[in-house]
Structure 1
Amino acid sequence: MKHQIKMATVLLLLGLFISGCSVVNSLRMMYANKDIQAIWPNQKADQILPAIYIGEKPYVRLLVNDSTELLFLIDTGASFTMVFDTQKGKGVKKEKGFELEIAGWGEGEDTRAYQSELASLHVGEVKFENVKVAYIPISSSSYYLRVDEAIFDGVLGHDLLRHFAWTFDKQKAQITASADSQSVRAGDAVMPISVSLNKLSIDATVEFNQSTTLQREVLIDTGSRHYFKMSAAFPTQNDITLPNKRVMAADFGMSGITEHQRVTIPSIHFQNLQIKDVKTNLIPSDDEDDWWVIGSALMNQFITVVDYHNLQFIMRSYPKHVFASRYNLAGMELRKLQNGNFIVRYVTDGLPAKVSGLKVGDEVVSINQSPAKQISQQQWIALNAKPGSHQICVKNESCFSYVGQHILGYSSPR
């Protein structure tokens, strides 16, 4: 059964919610660059961009106004391009256009933003001129607990992404933007892409248990750090049995924090490709069609191609790689700070980090006797997914020890 993405395409605009009074301006922003053209060098060579992966999310450095290099998140879930009020973002000359009000996860207030324009933006050697962007004071929003969590400068959204075929190869730390459609290889899983309100979706078959599967559209969101998200209302309203073992967790948006449950579902199928034991976020919602999303944590375990030229999504397996979900065994969300340390953003009741005494807002200066500044977000995720004893020291010179263990029925079989 094929479901149309309904309110989710609106609710996920930018990966953010849009407040009612700014819907018109938000729609104006979505299509502000509809006539923009990519200016290619004489030879339309692929643009091979060194990728920076912060955790699972893909970032690249792009030149703005022919003079300033900014770090942009490549976000297929964003309907338009954005610049934030980081030190570098604030330094870019901008004219103030129409007002925007943007919110996100959580119950906090909307963030006031506005439309602006960049004289130019380069993707490698490809140039865009007079680029309309949303300028967002994200550092003062509830997305961050502290201003120095703002470690990237903007988001490259659908309005510019649509000019390329994008190939993401995390193992090589490389992202390629191509002028031409990409060829399909033997063994690839290939799905046609549907576009609605600048959102991309593909068909997938979700297995909830041994007797219940569902075929439906899911959104492709490289800006999501997760594996798979779905509406918590769907299994409830359709009497679908999910695994009993669930763990509380949190995600963060422009309006603060949203707590939700996570489970491991048996599998998701993309054409001929079956992905087993997928960690899944059950997002609170009244609409069972909201929040069906695959994120970068899932896609990064493959070479993935988002081909805007012929609206095709390709998943290509790495040689000898077996898909595996990683789990937060400590029950603690850490986020990088500008100084290289981590900040504790969430601690789950009953899991080891909470029992040890760590709390939200603690600044982590070392992990297992290694300086936090020498540990990447990705290295922390990998470490946190392995059982074992750990010591975390925070800025006030307190240290906390705990033992991470697998959670039966969630991170390991029953």
Structure 2
Amino acid sequence: MSAPRRRTATATATAVAVVSVLSATLVLPMAGPAAAADCATPSTQTTAELPWSQARLDPQRVWALTKGEGVTVAVVDSGVDASVPQLAGQVLRGADVVGGTGRGDTDCVGHGTFVAGIVAARPAPGLTFAGVAPGAKVLPIRQTADGEDGTANGMADAIREAVDSGADVVNVSINSPVRSRKLDDAVKYAVRKDVLIVASAGNEERPGQQSSALSFPAAYPGVLTVAAVGRDDQPASFSRSGEYVDIAAPGVDILSLGTGGPGYRVDEGTSFAAPYVSGTAALVRARHPELTVPQVIHRLESTADHPAKTLPDPQVGWGIVNPFKAVTAVVPGEARGSAPSAPASSPPRRAAPPSANDPVATPADATTHGYLPLLLGLAALALLGTGGILVARLAARRG
């Protein structure tokens, strides 16, 4: 197991200074539920310093190979403000499954814009903050407009809308405490269509006190579930844990885009760990378009910075996502159409729901690929035996 990559003392000190300055001047979004008419204050404050989370993951290392071009990442959230300069040209019209304008490219609350910035914010002159995959397109699907998480059925409608609108990756940084048949079916629908769902693991209501409650769609089979870590690579106190956690990413003191201007905001939560993984998945799908969803998940997990623990770990899964290794590593067993093996010796924890496209063995297949060679071999031996008998009889007659 490889040890997690550490940041230098200089990068750490710089990141701390950045968050200190911004935290003193910016309003933290989503501190509590916002009323439908209580929109986030426009953000204008920026910084030229590199955020610690971006320094830690260092996605810029792979931008010479891919920036996620040709990949669409759906953000199932509160919408995305398409007018923000670093998202200009990146945000599609989207959709609104809870009413309103019918489109998703506006955002009153700011949560979805913050998420989209982590995924696909473009570099800007004089600024160092950028998304993990600045070449990817963002498909905003609004399923909440008031700062709440919405409903399980609303998430289901949003996921189906995202899949039908051409998303390659669906980021779900919202959670439902209850499952629903409709949401379950929507997740299976995405898996059948070879669309990757990345979901936040969820935040504990009382940080530091882990509960046994599950979050959905995070706990569904076939979903890549993301927990949050802090600057020290340790699990965040608020991040939920369990066997459904697959991978981790920074989720403490996170800097990203605000609404209504060019400025930044600072916040924390598993909501903002998930888009780091969604952005990395976009890089992988752009660079390796032949890979299926299970193969993309396998690649992300097997190339993560594994902690010195038994894997998978209930708090961080297979470890912290590593964009460079996820894109560039040679992963055994990735021949087109082959089934990936587990990232380590531990058995898989969850079975993915069956896909309508999965090959199913039939009796004819078994005959063709299993018994036919044996039958041909026996026939050849029989012919050789018969030939030997004939030769012996001819020799006897001649004698």
> Could you tell me the TM-score, scaled by structure 1's length?
0.28
- Larger fraction in strand: 1
Max Rg structure = 2
- Larger fraction in helix: 2
> Could you tell me the TM-score, scaled by structure 2's length?
0.29
